[in-house]
Chain A
Amino acid sequence: MAEPVLETQHLTMRFGGVVAVDNVTFTLRRGELRCLIGPNGAGKSTFFKCLTGLLTPSEGHVLMQGEETTGWPPHRVAALGVGIKTQVPNVMDGLSVQENIWLAARRFVPSAQAAAKTREVIDRLALGPIARTELGRLAHGERQQVELGFVAASDPWLVLLDEPAAGMTAGEVARMTEVIHELNRTAAVVIVEHDMQFIRSIASTVTVFHQGAILIEDDVETVMSDPHVRNIYLGKKA
């Protein structure tokens, strides 16, 4: 078994009386592509925020490549080589696609190489036609692509994507899937998603969150046929 790149031990996040993440012990190994699912409010995004440093967990530990990172600010976590996409699009609205991606590339390479790296990422994500457009003028799906561009530009070994396919067209989802597989060649990936079809298409181990805790963790088909999971999701859709 490959070594773990990301571990949490008894991770807990409380907001007043609400326990958004409840005693979660989670392991992700090198090369893995994991999907995180669960109904609205299950605590998936809060779990991610505890990993990336946007929130400081109330209890428990986060370890990345064996190093304790609990309570680190986001920039330190990111600087380790963690690529992050948040659920709400988080981009530099007043700047062009090119400038946005350059900023991500520049963090990890000297400025002499940043321009080339930016072009490479833009080509890879087929963002060429909108490279000079301001982010504020782009459609939701395109903005999500740019966020994926941030991740790709930083050559990460761990990638955390919160609902990357939300609001995307079928074509965009297909390209996104391709890029995720590409990233997965060198990085372990965790994806939060609701879309079952998308999850099936990237076929991996699935971790199900429910009320802040891990309900079940298994391969896609086993999880999909689990009566408890069906029950949680049938109340909605799936």
Chain B
Amino acid sequence: MQGTAGKDVIVTVLVAAVLIWALPLMVGTYTLTVLAIYAMLGLSLGLIWGFGGILCFGQAAFFGLGAYTYAIAAINTGESTLPMILAVIVPCVFAALLGAMMFYGRLGDVYLGVITLVVTLILFKFISSTAGPQYTIGTARLGGYNGIPGFPTLNVPGRPDLFIWGDALYYLCAVALLLVYLGVTWFLRSSFGRIAVGIRENETRMSLIGYDVRARKTVLFAIGAAIAGLAGALFANWGAIVTPGLFSLSQSAEIIIWCIVGGLGTRFGPLLGAAGLGYLKFLLGQQSMINNTMLMGLILVLFVLFLPRGVVPAAISVWRASIGRPRRAGRAGALRRNRRRGRTDG
């Protein structure tokens, strides 16, 4: 186990290094930066949904919270290091509180979806209505619909005069994505990660074995929010402005579509789905013939109908079948079966 883990890390880092180097030869780094950020956001939901069975309709709330935290803190401190840290901590703590309320309140999966959705809506409404001058945090004005522009962007820690932007920001985001990916990989191999997958498969059984399902789901939910918050802070730096649109439902829905298209129950699927569909959206943005939202909806329908497990799991089974190796546990498949079957209890 340890040996293969080490090999996996080396392979991942090598592949990532080649991609990080080669992609700018084909696509501009400005676009690649936001794709890396989307990939991180996709991975955050892929982690809690695909491996913890928590379908959150409000992952965009944590993304937006990270972005706003960064912008507000950066205006107040005039540099970026502390704001980056806060942008991870604030969504994480917010999610821990929200998660504790939901999981200790024994809410069913449907209500969990509804509550996360409503919380996103409330944040959106609230942030949108903060146009007045009375809405300030420290020296930062929230700005309502117009958002917050003009905050200090990333600088080299300790050197507020040395900004990280352009190509450098791309490399930073890509490496951050790689580190998060490796972190998620490590997490899933740890006892906590394996137990999370057990909970995804059967909550009742896991509690009868002696695991406190509520506490573990709360922690996992908070970890996902922390990753989304980091992505949000990077996004704020990329766009140099934060607006209430970050909290929008369409943003949340898009994250869910990324996960479904890329493939749940894999680490790479949501990441690929996010970057792939993000790139498609970018290409479509350059024309006005096809409506973007409608196309996303169409893609979702096509996948649900014809490739419900998503790209990555399907590719893995094709590859396994072609080299004739016996298939081990199809995790994504099992997850879907479980969801359809409902929970066994008795």
Contact = CB atoms under 8 A, between A and B. Distances in A.
Indicate whether A and B interact.
Answer: yes
A95 B201 contact: yes
B208 interface: yes
B329 A102 contact: no
Given A150-B209, A154-B209, A103 B195 contact: yes
B191 A94 contact: no
A86 B346 contact: yes
Contacts of B330: 94, 134
B211 A92 contact: no
Contact of A103 (B209, B328, B338, B346): B209
A185 interface: no
B202 A90 contact: yes
Nearest to A88: B346
A92 B201 contact: yes
A87 B346 CA distance: 6
A78 interface: yes
Interface stretch (A58-66, A104-112, A227-235): A104-112
Contacts of A90: 202, 204-205, 208, 344-346
Contacts of B333: 94
B5 interface: no
* Interface bin, chain A: 35 or more
B210 A154 contact: yes
* Interface bin, chain B: 20 to 34
Contacts of A114: 191
Given A92-B202, A93-B337, A103-B195, A79 B329 contact: no
Contacts, number: 98
Interface in B299-346: 328-331, 333-335, 337-338, 344-346
Interface in A11-66: 45, 52, 54
Contacts of B37: none
A94 B330 CA distance: 7
B207 interface: yes
Given A92-B201, A96-B329, A132-B328, A111 B210 contact: no
B195 A106 contact: yes
A141 interface: no
Contact of B338 (A94, A96, A99): A94
Contacts of B204: 54, 74, 86, 90
Most buried by A among B209, B212, B330, B344: B209
B213 to A, nearest CB: 7
A86 B206 CA distance: 12
B207 A78 contact: yes
Interface string A124-156: 000000001010100000000000001000100
B7 interface: no
B245 interface: no
Given A90-B346, A102-B194, A134 B334 contact: yes
A4 interface: no
Contacts of A75: 207-213
B113 interface: no
Contact of A93 (B194, B213, B338): B338
A104 B209 contact: yes
B209 A78 contact: yes
A73 interface: yes
Nearest to A74: B207
A84 interface: yes
Shortest 4 CB-CB contacts between residues of A and residues of B? A94-B334, A88-B346, A78-B210, A92-B201
30 contacts: A52-B208, A54-B204, A73-B212, A74-B208, A75-B208, A75-B210, A84-B208, A86-B204, A88-B344, A90-B345, A91-B202, A91-B205, A92-B201, A92-B202, A92-B205, A93-B337, A93-B338, A94-B329, A94-B333, A94-B338, A95-B197, A95-B201, A100-B198, A103-B198, A103-B206, A104-B209, A107-B211, A108-B210, A134-B328, A150-B209
